[in-house]
Amino acid sequence: MHHIGSIAVAQLSTKPILEIAGEACVLSLEELGYAYKGTDLLPERYYFSKGEPRTHHIHMCQSGNRYLLEQLPFRDDLRHHEDARRDYEQLCIKRISISMLMRKPIKVTSRKNII
């Protein structure tokens, strides 16, 4: 099991979602409150999530999976390189801001609201 995702990196302020990737067989995670999302969303991974809004992600994959082989070095680079961590953090903050704007449309009552 590996702790991946944004909160696996100290001093990185991003979404508060715990992400775990595992190389073991899929356990009965539904009994622990996780919803199985299948493999269509994320190919080559068994994806589970928990919470509404989501608070946990679990990615189960076979040992040697390409996703895991890419994710772990990326996480380690963020842990050891402050500049990369800061750049990634800013990218995540922008992405979250855009996502929030898309979900909550701004009601325009006059041209003054746009300017």
Tell whether the model's pLDDT for residue 93 goes beyond 90: no
Q: What do you get for the CA distance between the two ends of the chain, in Å?
A: 50
- Tens of pLDDT, residue by residue over 54-87, are 888 888 888 888 888 998 999 999 999 999 999 9
How far is the CA of 88 from the CAs of 6, 40, 42, 65, 114, in angstroms?
9, 27, 22, 24, 30
What's the pLDDT tens digit per position in 51-61?
988 888 888 88
Superfamily of domain 2-113: Beta Polymerase, domain 2 (3.30.460.10)
The span from the CA of 28 to the CA of 6, in Å, is 25
